[in-house]
């Protein structure tokens, strides 16, 4: 039986820039950051996660999937206090294409973007 989701891929053009964003702007923990081959400047295996969460975000774009960069990612983050989170992340340079609003389904909703233009949903916890 399935018991959870281990990881989700985030399509990026520049792994170091993406790592800086997820670590410094979003506050993610770095789980792994290592070369995928002998070239230290080549592709890397980069994993981050939101503190206290088990789901790992892999910052990598497999060859042939570059067209997925800069789209809606289908990754949703949640927070306890939408306004405080919005204000804090905005101060850290995170852009919000859709600032917080009360959605028709009765929860706070916003979208935020990374430096590649990928957008992510942000909502409040139950």
Residue 126: is its pLDDT beyond 80?
no
Render pLDDT for 49-97 as a digit per residue (tens, 0 to 9).
Answer: 999 999 999 999 888 999 999 999 999 999 999 999 999 999 999 999 9
Residue 2: its pLDDT value, please? 83
Percent of the chain scored above 90 by pLDDT?
Answer: 82
**How far from 60 is each of 28, 90, 108, CA to CA, in Å?**
16, 25, 30
Residue 55: its pLDDT value, please? 95
Burial of 122 (0-12, 13-18, 19+ CB in 10 A): buried
Q: Walk me through the domains of the chain, giving residue ranges and CATH numbers.
A: 1-62 (3.10.180.10), 72-126 (3.10.180.10)
Give the C-alpha separation, 33 to 19, whole Å.
9
pLDDT band, very low/low/confident/very high, at 40 (cuts 50, 70, 90)? confident
Residue 47: its pLDDT value, please? 98
Residue 4: its pLDDT value, please? 85
Residue 61: its pLDDT value, please? 87
């Amino acid at each position: 039986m399935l018991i959870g989701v281990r990881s989700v891929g985030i399509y990026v053009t520049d792994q170091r820039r993406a790592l800086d964003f997820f670590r410094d702007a979003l506050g993610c923990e770095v789980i792994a950051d290592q070369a995928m081959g002998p070239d230290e400047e080549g592709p890397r295996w980069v994993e981050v996660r939101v503190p206290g969460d088990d789901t790992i975000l892999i910052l990598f774009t497999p060859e042939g999937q570059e067209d997925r960069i800069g789209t809606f990612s289908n990754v949703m983050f949640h927070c306890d206090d939408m306004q405080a989170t919005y204000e804090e992340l905005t101060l850290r340079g995170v852009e919000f294409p859709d600032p917080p609003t009360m959605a028709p389904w009765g929860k706070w909703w916003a979208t935020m973007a990374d430096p590649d233009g990928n957008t992510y949903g942000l909502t409040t916890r139950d």
